[in-house]
Structure 1
Amino acid sequence: MAEPYYITTAIHYPNGKPHIGHAYETIAADVIARFQRARGREVRFQTGTDEHGLKMAQKARDLGVTPRELCDEMSGYFKSLFDTLDISYDNFIRTTEDRHHAASQALWQAMEANGDLYLDRYEGWYSIRDEAYYDESELTDGEGGEKLSPQGTPVEWTVEESWFFRLSHYAEPLLALYRDNPDFIRPASRRNEVVRFVEGGLRDLSVSRSSFDWGVHVPGADGHVMYVWVDALTNYLTGLGYPDETDDFTRFWPADLHLIGKDIVRFHAVYWPAFLMSAKVPLPRQVFGHGFLLNRGQKESKSLGNTTDPVDLADKFGVDPLRYFLMREIAFGQDGSYSPEAIVTRTNAELANSFGNLAQRSLSMISKNLDGKLSITPEADEDLALLAAVDEGVATLIERFEDLDFSTGLDAWMKAVFACNQYVDEMAPWALRKSDPDRMTGVLMTLFKCVRKLAIAVRPVVPGSADRLLDQMGVAADARDFGVLADNTWFAGLVDAGFQVDKPIGVFPRLELPEEATA
């Protein structure tokens, strides 16, 4: 049976329409999910929306709608975006679902049974925008003298009755977790930040609110709703049927990877494992905090007027070029920048001019010079050398993708593409057509094999385009995973079946810079 793999994104806060950061994280998660499926693993990929909390209640009030109406509308925008971006999620969870309320209450009761919850009074700084509590030592002064969180968001002094979680009891177990499992938090820079935070001492955490009622109700405590982060983090369990011992829960928990933004690492790497330890639930294997995506080097904000609708980007440049650019351009885990010029330059140079042109030239010459017919030919030393170079590039891509190092993996893939284009130039099959047609056939068959391997390798990143290319090459839909890369019987099967290559249709057209970007 295929080895299971469970990946989640952070669930997205739908108090506004999705932005490019939501697209970046979810595309990266989709690439990982598709990559693991291509490796033969049984993947469960979950995303969704985080719909409770004071911020949502206030936004709904400002718009004159109910919180539920706001959630229904906004959650639809996220689903629509993910469909546009070809996201292959298995489960889209909404925290307003009954199953999620039941799971959150079950986790609460498990923590309570362990003696880790108590009722007291909360007085302290709270950021509505972050839905986070901050110690005085973490705050800075704004230009007007107002207090700001480490994220630069306003904080308010809050006083209310609250249930508390004994987070202070978990400092040593957490430090032992980080010490014994150095890859639990990645990249290393995030791990170091979390370790310093926990070493500085942990205070008990307020985990309920009594000043509003839009949330999961605390069992047995009228007037209290759960702190939104208790509720939000539980979604990773909800999607597998917790608290029931379902087949999904038994098979996929603990999660292999929680993929999140670097600004919410504390919640996932401190609070979440502490909650799970308290509830006697196994811990996830890894939390990866990716960097921010910057617009021409600047963080997007409405005040700067530089926010980007990811649907517009996908419409202008194409879904697969956008996906490729984000995985190729940015060292995963670090901040990265994008612009229309960068997207056009990168995708034209690599997808259109290099790989797209390689595929188009190879299939066109087979169609034109061989009437589209494939044949078994002897392999010269140059052919074997190229096949070995492609195998090396693909093997490196697989190795680097396994480590979430997408840009380096795609760099190795591009080197294999460049080797193929250099081979075309050196072999000059158009000249061999007259001087040595048998050798021309051998060169074109070698290129056909290489293009197929390269298309399968890059398929997790550009699934639609890769599939359209593989369709034209007669590669069966169930023969496009990494397990078949070394299988050479597929080619003999096409030859025996009399498959013919038609005049190809390019799958990576050159992009033009939109007029507004050149103005």
Structure 2
Amino acid sequence: MKWLQTNWVKCLRPPFIQKAYCTHSPCGSKERVFITTPIFYVNAAPHIGHLYTALLADATARFHRLHGKEVVFSTGTDEHGLKIQSSATKVNKTPKLYCDEIAAKFKALFDRTDVSYSHFIRTTDETHVSAVQNFWKILVKNDYIYQGKYEGWYSMADEEFLSEEEVCDQRMETGESQKISVSSGHPVVWVAEENYMFRLTKIKPKLLEWLNTGVIYPREKRSQVDIALRNLQDLSVSRSRSRLSWGIPVPGDSTQTIYVWLDALINYLTVAGYPDHLQHWPADTQIVGQDILKFHTIYWPAFLLAAGLDLPKQIVCHAHWTVDGYKMSKSRGNVVDPQERMNKLTATGFRYFLLRSGTVFTNCNYDDAVAKDIVNAEIVNSYLNMLSRVSSKSINKHTIFPSFNEEDFQTFFTKEERSMFNRLPDLIDICNGYYNGLLCHKVSEAVFEYIRWSNKLFNDHVPWKLCKDPANDRHLHCLLHVTMETLRVCSILLQPLIPHIAGQVLDRLGISKGDRLIKHCLERQLVHRIKDHPLQCQKNHIMQRIK
């Protein structure tokens, strides 16, 4: 228990999160929080990197709901562009049919893993098409769009324009040299065509002012943005419709298609009701992967500034998931299929492993054996085993959650044990800080330290012996209360990570649906718990050990 004894004071709310999560609703209504994931490109089926982004956003959304806040949580799919057009052609399908099939796979994956989105947006939705075209007209009206000639490097795989500093030469097996993107490694081609340009350079001073407020988290990710800022040029925001027909037409010019990233980024406004009923904007937290950070910290705020709209309060950039140390890619053959893995680890187990092992700071490596061991050791052997022990009829003969007795607590427990239990409210503050910082792995670390402690406490007091003599009932009931109360608090705090299983544990403990918010962690003397109350009987195991 060394970690718990030495780190309480260090785990206050992180300073980088202070100004976020402060969207106030009208007087008398709930505080509202708007959280987004990027919309995911449907050129291929979803992999664990996509799922991790959605789960990180979901855990954050659930955390805010546990504080009684109203949460708007959007995710969805990005369905236009050259890459989609090309992918659909390769499989002999229309782009719309192709998008429908892949979008359904994303939705099914998120539903299976309990991603509690309030909006699943698709860029092929009519409301979104209308929003994008309206936004385009505003940019034209504000003199940020002009006709011109674009010349430069373009990566079709990334749908991205690149400066000379962002490309390099790569020697191919044939001995020839190929220009590639430094960040993604994808080939680039030189593009020269007449289209519409966005006055990105005009926005640079205001863009820098926003970036300098520390809006990017983690702060270290800012260096990636600075590279793109050094060679900032006006941005090509359309394509010839003869080359790209699968996209939103430029209003008033049927020969041009709106650039896929301008189209895609507007999805956040579409969800917020733009243009007629814009509400709960700006977004409080926008979660992205590091490969699309430039789009969300340069292009996106620039578009908003040009349209006269408020900027997001925070851009969270998480690291990649790798396999054997390499970024997942179809060419390398190391893409992890989340649906297939969930058939082995269960949806809850897989969800827990990703949130427990992933971080926003450094790349995380996926390994099947490690995932299985973690799920078995922490969820099954520690967490659910604790529940099984305290609810066992051989020990808890009346299957009750006993009330607390201070005198018995002082009598039967050591000073160290009493101190540890009395510090349980500190765990709430720690987890609040970690959830605010999107540090789900740290939440897991802190909570499971307490769960392991409660298991050890249970062993140390040998309840299988206490239960044999009625003279020990006071001692046994106090032990059951301490371990169950620890389990109750930990389960409330684990709801954003494993909502289905944590909910089942709270059901078994007899905790009503209305008593599962963060504030209830501190209320040990709830009205229905002043006296002993029965546990909920359940014959089946919540989760079996994974083989």
The TM-score normalised by the length of structure 2 is 0.88
Match of 1:413 in 2: 447
Alpha carbons 1:364, 1:503 under 8 Å: kept? no
Unaligned runs of 5+ in 2: 1-28
| Alignment match of 1:85 (pick from 88, 99, 113) | 113
Unaligned runs of 5+ in 1: 513-519
What do the CA deviations read for 1:483-507 (whole angstroms, capped 9, x no partner)? 21112344x5157595345366443
| Alignment match of 2:493 (pick from 423, 432, 457) | 457
| Alignment match of 1:23 (pick from 48, 51, 58) | 51
SS at match of 1:142: strand
Alpha carbons 1:40, 1:483 under 8 Å: kept? no
Match of 2:385 in 1: 357
Q: Aligned pair 1:241/2:268, yes or no?
A: no
Q: Aligned pair 1:163/2:200, yes or no?
A: no
SS at match of 2:522: coil
What do the CA deviations read for 1:63-102 (whole angstroms, capped 9, x no partner)? 2221111111111111111111111110000001111011
What do the CA deviations read for 1:272-291 (whole angstroms, capped 9, x no partner)? 00100000010010111111
| Alignment match of 2:102 (pick from 67, 74, 81) | 74
Match of 1:511 in 2: 546
SS at match of 1:65: coil
What's the RMSD between the two structures over aligned residues? Answer: 1.8
Alpha carbons 1:363, 1:503 under 8 Å: kept? no
SS at match of 2:250: coil
Distance 1:411 1:293 in 2: 20
* Aligned residue runs from structure 1 range 55-204, under 5 A: 55-144=83-172, 145-150=177-182, 151-179=184-212, 181-182=213-214, 184-198=215-229, 200-204=230-234
Alpha carbons 2:181, 2:188 under 8 Å: kept? yes
Alpha carbons 2:318, 2:359 under 8 Å: kept? no
- Quote how far apart the aligned CAs of 1:302 are: 2.1
- Quote how far apart the aligned CAs of 1:159 are: 2.1
Alpha carbons 2:391, 2:535 under 8 Å: kept? no
Distance 2:187 2:403 in 1: 69
Which deviates the most, 262-271 or 109-118? Answer: 109-118
- Quote how far apart the aligned CAs of 1:137 are: 2.7
Q: Aligned pair 1:443/2:475, yes or no?
A: no
SS at match of 2:171: coil
Match of 1:215 in 2: 247
Alpha carbons 2:207, 2:302 under 8 Å: kept? yes
Match of 1:397 in 2: 431
Q: Which amino acid aligns with 1:510?
A: R
- Quote how far apart the aligned CAs of 1:394 are: 3.2
SS at match of 2:542: coil
- Quote how far apart the aligned CAs of 1:298 are: 2.0
What do the CA deviations read for 1:429-464 (whole angstroms, capped 9, x no partner)? 222222522211111122222211111110110011
SS at match of 2:428: helix
Distance 2:294 2:535 in 1: 56
Alpha carbons 1:139, 1:149 under 8 Å: kept? yes
Match of 1:427 in 2: 461
Distance 2:306 2:87 in 1: 33
Q: Which amino acid aligns with 1:146?
A: Q
Alpha carbons 1:124, 1:158 under 8 Å: kept? yes
Alpha carbons 1:209, 1:224 under 8 Å: kept? yes
Match of 2:351 in 1: 323
| Percent of aligned pairs with the same amino acid | 35
The TM-score normalised by the length of structure 1 is 0.93
Distance 2:102 2:116 in 1: 20
Match of 1:515 in 2: none
Alpha carbons 2:36, 2:287 under 8 Å: kept? yes
Distance 2:62 2:538 in 1: 29
Match of 1:468 in 2: 504
SS at match of 2:317: strand
User: Alpha carbons of 1:87 and 1:501: their partners in 2 closer, same or farther (altered >3 Å)?
Assistant: closer
Q: Which amino acid aligns with 2:522?
A: A
Match of 2:24 in 1: none
- Quote how far apart the aligned CAs of 1:164 are: 0.4
Alpha carbons 1:474, 1:494 under 8 Å: kept? no
Q: Which amino acid aligns with 1:213?
A: S
Alpha carbons 1:400, 1:409 under 8 Å: kept? yes
Match of 1:14 in 2: 42
- Quote how far apart the aligned CAs of 1:30 are: 0.9
- Quote how far apart the aligned CAs of 1:345 are: 1.6
What do the CA deviations read for 1:379-416 (whole angstroms, capped 9, x no partner)? 31337434323322232112111111222222111111
| Alignment match of 2:236 (pick from 173, 195, 206) | 206
Alpha carbons 2:159, 2:260 under 8 Å: kept? yes
Distance 1:49 1:377 in 2: 51
What do the CA deviations read for 1:134-186 (whole angstroms, capped 9, x no partner)? 1223211122211111210011122221100010112211111122x11x111
What do the CA deviations read for 1:209-266 (whole angstroms, capped 9, x no partner)? 013221111112221111000000000000121011x2xx32x210011111101000
Q: Which amino acid aligns with 1:372?
A: T
